[in-house]
């Protein structure tokens, strides 16, 4: 048999075999057997070099034709298989893709950004400080000696005798003062705080605060009130009134609680317990001892400070009933704010 005859007979065998292939797997086996680089067709073509002139020409032509035919037959068979595949195996390339899950900002983070943004427009810089603090910074330098009764207000997670998880963002005040002193400063200190307390709908063991601190000449309690009025109108909406109630914090003198008028505008609702006022922050004039601990001269400068929660304003804003939803990682809750 001449080489070209062998090539044609190879074609007959291959095509007959192809007719009975009924799976992707069998089709691939067929391709490897006949068309691959080390397949049967390639093997016969490899013999071309050893046949004489005229026969070589015929065989070369036959090889090209058969190769093209087998390739075409293969593709046709592929399409035939695909068309008859069960529905679930068929790929419809015109279908829209499955969009990947996109993350979103946590509701606390969104609220924090809003608060930071508002204070930034009033000249406050964000000052980030540590979450693991020393007893000295968290309490002592803020005028809370080791036996101070006000420590009971902040049940503390201690890591060692001297290290703890900060119970408020106020220790950052000392760090900021020591960094800026003797320059005037205007900073807010956002961050995570921890308290060793039973959780409830209004309290979590972990929560966020934003501390504020301004030090310079001519700063008074009126400056703080003006600041809060501007803040409340931007954050909670126009028309909010602010009031100060006398209070006590060891690190401020005098100290106040800051209230704003409730959404119900005094008509009475469960949020404000029918008082018409919502408490949003503690604050006051920085205590001379604290100023001194930060390196400032209390006879030269004055300052105000405040500390407010982040979750509660978010709670109020979105009418959420339980603070524990914030950190229980239920996507059905979180995705509503993404
Ligand atoms: N650190 C206080 C707390 O966690 C809040 C606070 C009150 C901060 C008065 C202040 C302040 O800076 O002046 O309850």
The pocket around ligand 1, CB under 6 angstroms, is made up of: 168, 170, 211, 249, 252, 282-284, 305-307
Whether residues 271 and 300 fall in one domain: yes
In a domain, 323, yes or no: yes
C-alpha 99 – ligand 1 centre gap (Å): 45
C-alpha 307 – ligand 1 centre gap (Å): 4
In a domain, 94, yes or no: no
Question: If you take atom 3 of ligand 1, which residue's CA is the nearest one?
Answer: 168
CB 252 within 8 A of CB 258: no
In a domain, 99, yes or no: no
CB 186 within 8 A of CB 123: yes
CB-facing half-sphere around the CA of 84: CA atoms within 13 A: 9
Instruction: Write out the H or E segment, with its range, that includes residue 248.
Output: strand 242-249
Number of domains comprising the chain: 2
Whether residues 41 and 128 fall in one domain: no
Helices (H), ranges, 85-206 = 107-121, 135-138, 171-180
Domain residues for 305? 107-334
In a domain, 102, yes or no: no
Whether residues 63 and 129 fall in one domain: no
CB 205 within 8 A of CB 182: no
Pairing of strands 163-165, 242-249: unpaired
The domain boundary, picked from 89, 118, 146, lies at 89
C-alpha 288 – ligand 1 centre gap (Å): 16
Whether residues 48 and 125 fall in one domain: no
Burial of 147 (0-12, 13-18, 19+ CB in 10 A): exposed
C-alpha 181 – ligand 1 centre gap (Å): 21
The owner of tokens 């703080």 is 224
The owner of tokens 């490899």 is 46
The sheet carrying 252-261 orders its strands as 125-126, 185-194, 206-216, 302-309, 277-286, 252-261, 242-249
Give bridge partners of residue 206 from the DSSP assignment. 194
What is the rounded distance in angstroms from the CA atom of residue 273 to the CA atom of residue 238? 22
φ, ψ at 259 (rounded to 5°): -115, 150
- DSSP code of 101? P
Whether residues 81 and 169 fall in one domain: no
In a domain, 310, yes or no: yes
Instruction: Copy the structure tokens of residue 26.
Output: 């069998």
What is the rounded distance in angstroms from the CA atom of residue 111 to the CA atom of residue 209? 11
pLDDT of residue 265: 75
pLDDT of residue 324: 92
Whether residues 225 and 302 fall in one domain: yes
CB 82 within 8 A of CB 90: yes
Helices (H), ranges, 96-201 = 107-121, 135-138, 171-180
First to last CA, the chain: 76
Ligand 1, residues 190, 197, 211: which to mutate, most atoms within 8 A of Cβ? 211
pTM: 0.72
In a domain, 134, yes or no: yes
Whether residues 22 and 150 fall in one domain: no
Whether residues 125 and 197 fall in one domain: yes
pLDDT of residue 85: 72
Whether residues 143 and 233 fall in one domain: yes
The domain boundary, picked from 89, 117, 141, lies at 89
pLDDT of residue 212: 98
What is the rounded distance in angstroms from the CA atom of residue 31 to the CA atom of residue 63? 16
The domain boundary, picked from 26, 55, 89, lies at 89
Q: Which atom of ligand 1 is nearest to the CA of 168?
A: 4
Whether residues 138 and 223 fall in one domain: yes
In a domain, 206, yes or no: yes
Question: If you take atom 13 of ligand 1, which residue's CA is the nearest one?
Answer: 283
pLDDT of residue 130: 96
C-alpha 263 – ligand 1 centre gap (Å): 24
Estimate to the nearest angstrom the gap between the alpha carbon of 238 and the chain centroid: 30
Supply the CATH number for residue 230's domain.
3.30.930.10
pLDDT of residue 266: 73
CB-facing half-sphere around the CA of 184: CA atoms within 13 A: 14
In a domain, 101, yes or no: no
Q: Which atom of ligand 1 is nearest to the CA of 167?
A: 4
Whether residues 231 and 273 fall in one domain: yes
Question: If you take atom 8 of ligand 1, which residue's CA is the nearest one?
Answer: 307
Whether residues 124 and 185 fall in one domain: yes
Tens of pLDDT, residue by residue, the chain (338 residues): 888 888 998 899 998 998 888 888 889 999 999 999 998 888 888 888 888 888 888 888 989 999 999 999 999 988 888 887 776 667 778 889 888 988 899 999 999 999 999 999 999 999 999 999 999 999 999 999 988 888 877 789 999 999 999 999 999 999 999 999 999 999 999 999 999 999 998 889 999 999 999 999 999 999 999 999 999 999 988 888 999 999 999 999 999 999 998 877 777 777 788 888 989 999 999 999 999 999 999 999 999 999 999 998 888 888 888 899 999 999 999 999 98
């Amino acid at each position: 048999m001449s080489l070209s005859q062998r090539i044609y007979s190879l074609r007959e065998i291959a095509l007959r075999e192809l007719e009975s292939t009924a799976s992707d797997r069998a089709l691939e086996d067929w391709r490897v057997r006949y068309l691959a680089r080390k397949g049967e067709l390639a093997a016969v073509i490899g013999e071309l070099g050893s046949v004489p002139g005229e026969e070589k020409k015929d065989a070369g032509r036959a090889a090209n034709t058969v190769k093209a035919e087998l390739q075409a037959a293969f593709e046709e068979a592929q399409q035939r298989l695909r068309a008859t595949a069960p529905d679930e195996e068929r790929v419809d390339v015109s279908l829209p893709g499955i969009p990947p899950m996109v993350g979103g900002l946590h509701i606390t983070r969104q609220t924090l950004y809003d608060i930071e943004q508002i204070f930034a427009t009033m000249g406050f810089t964000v000052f980030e400080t540590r979450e693991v603090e020393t007893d000295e910074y968290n309490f002592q330098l803020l005028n809370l000696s080791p036996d101070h009764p006000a420590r009971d207000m902040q049940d503390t997670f201690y890591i060692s005798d001297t290290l703890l998880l900060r119970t408020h963002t106020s220790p950052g005040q000392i760090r900021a003062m020591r960094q800026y002193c003797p320059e005037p400063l205007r900073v807010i200190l956002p961050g995570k705080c921890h308290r060793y307390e039973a959780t409830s709908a209004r309290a979590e063991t972990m929560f966020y605060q934003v501390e504020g601190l301004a030090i310079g000449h001519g700063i008074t309690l009126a400056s703080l009130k003006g600041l809060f009025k501007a803040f409340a109108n931007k954050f909670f909406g126009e028309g909010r009134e602010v009031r100060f109630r006398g209070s006590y914090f060891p690190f401020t003198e005098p100290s106040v609680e800051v209230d704003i008028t409730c959404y119900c505008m005094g008509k009475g609702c469960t949020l404000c317990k029918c008082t018409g006022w919502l408490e949003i922050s503690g604050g006051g004039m920085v205590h001379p001892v604290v100023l001194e601990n930060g390196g400032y001269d209390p006879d030269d400068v004055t300052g105000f400070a405040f500390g407010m929660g982040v979750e509660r304003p978010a709670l109020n804003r979105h009418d959420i009933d339980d603070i524990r939803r914030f950190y229980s990682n239920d996507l059905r809750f979180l995705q509503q704010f993404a």
